[in-house]
Amino acid sequence: MKLPRVRVETMKTLLDHAVEGLGEIAVYESQSLDRHLDALRVRVSVASKARGLGELIRDQIDLIPATQALLMDDYRERRVLWRQLRERIATAVQ
């Protein structure tokens, strides 16, 4: 397989876009982990206040929609970040 020749300036631009995009993704993932740790703290706090098994289960079930929303927000944002990175690289190659 023969690879196309790439100019040095194009390669530098590609690398710049890759580093910048991956940096944004890394920052987002770090912030995402912080949000998930906060959600876990809420669950533990709610669990510690339960007066019985039934209340514990009910309270934890009540937190499921917030957890689902957090996961979906993360999923959507990750898709946006990866799409933007792909588009930047594709634009630099053209």
Q: Report pTM.
A: 0.78
Note whether 56 and 47 are within 8 A (CB): yes
Q: What is the mean pLDDT of residues 59-78?
A: 97
Distance CA 23, CA 26 (A): 5
Q: How confident is the model at residue 82 (pLDDT cuts 50, 70, 90)?
A: very high
**What's the mean pLDDT when you consider all of the chain?**
92
Domain boundaries, the chain: 8-89
pLDDT at 32 over 90: yes
